[in-house]
Amino acid sequence: MKNCKAAMLIFLIIVMIFTKTSTSEALTPESEDDKKFIIVIVNNVNFSDLQTMEHIRKLTNNSYVSLMNTRGATGYNAASSYATLGWGTRAIASKDSANFATLNDENSLVYFRRAGHSLENSEVINLSINRLIAHNSIGNYGAIPGALGEILMQNGYATAVIGNADTDTAKDRTLGLIAMNQSGTINYGDVSELTIKESANSPFGIKTNYKFILEKFKNVYDLADFIVIETGDTSRLNNYSGNLNNSSYSRHKTQILLEIDSFINYIFNYINNNSALMIITPFPSNVDLKSGARLTPLIFYLQNKEGGILTSNTTR
């Protein structure tokens, strides 16, 4: 595992936990019943930010931790980093090719018109799956869109995604790139406007609707085995930062991190002892990018494991 690139390392950890391979014995919980793997995305932060959060700081003490290099196939952009995490190699993606939507009658027809087949057992779909496939077919790294989701579904494990990083003018549902299968579909979840709410004092006048996300999480917890949650507000803050002075930025950031910390603590206390919890930052903040700090944090918790350092040849 020490020789794996960061994205492949994450990919292998998830696959090993579900498929019971012999190389996963050091990480796999003793019981194989009712396994869950939950990823919570806290984007555009660094380890220093995470260590200001009380519950995450305590969690880190008993977790595997790492710094990740999630550079995509064409350089650094956030969507490609999300895709790289889900496909195990450098990928090509954009917000336009991550056009995820919660299923309804209208977009079901759009999907059928574009993909040529009907949907079964899917609540979230990528309406731009063909564009995503076309972009990666000419890439240099052999990325297979939906690789992780496809492996999980082929082995009988259900997937779910909840949340978004939408602003007032643009949709950002790139979390779906991590969990989708090769058809661009995900079994359960919600990425719609219901996962956010109006908030006059928040960046873009929008904030994450944690009450709705928690209820949705509890609804899918018994149904899905692999669940990805986008907290969203750190991404909105990062995109809005050019409108803020240092004092306003710090004030917003402190409040956002407090709310995320409380949310993650709830998730941690809700999941069963056989569940794995991973907190990841797919892409650095604007501030970190300017300073050249392009590695992002990963925290990986397993019940009854002491944790340690995960390393790779790209992050040393």
Calpha distance 250→52 (Å, rounded): 13
Q: Which residues does 20 contact at the CB level (< 8 Å), separation at least 6?
A: 28, 32
How many Cα atoms sit within 13 Å of 88 on the Cβ side? Answer: 16
Calpha distance 95→239 (Å, rounded): 14
Task: List pLDDT tens digits, range 63-73.
Answer: 999 888 877 76
* Site of tokens 């498929």: 19
What is the predicted pLDDT for the residue at 141?
Answer: 79
Residues in the chain: 316
Calpha distance 316→283 (Å, rounded): 18
Residue 29: pLDDT above 80?
Answer: no
Superfamily of domain 6-19+33-309: Alkaline Phosphatase, subunit A (3.40.720.10)
| Average pLDDT estimate for 290-304 | 90
Task: List pLDDT tens digits, range 197-250.
Answer: 999 999 999 999 999 999 999 999 999 999 999 999 999 999 999 999 999 999
What is the predicted pLDDT for the residue at 69?
Answer: 82
Q: Which residues does 271 contact at the CB level (< 8 Å), separation at least 6?
A: 36, 38, 221, 277
Amino acid, res. 84: T
Share of the chain above pLDDT 70, in %: 90
Residue 1: pLDDT above 50?
Answer: no
DSSP 155-221: TT--EEEE-----SS----TTHHHH--TTSEESEEE-SGGGEEE-TTSGGGEEE-HHHHHHHHHHHH
Share of the chain above pLDDT 90, in %: 72
Banded pLDDT at 5 (limits 50, 70, 90): low
Question: What is the reported pTM?
Answer: 0.91
Q: How many CB atoms lie within 10 A of CB 62?
A: 14
Please state which of the ranges 25-39, 90-104, 147-161, 242-256 shows the lowest mean pLDDT.
25-39
Among 84-88, 139-143, 152-156, 278-282, top mean pLDDT goes to 278-282
Task: List pLDDT tens digits, range 134-164.
Answer: 999 986 778 899 999 999 999 899 999 999 9
What is the predicted pLDDT for the residue at 2?
Answer: 33
Banded pLDDT at 173 (limits 50, 70, 90): very high
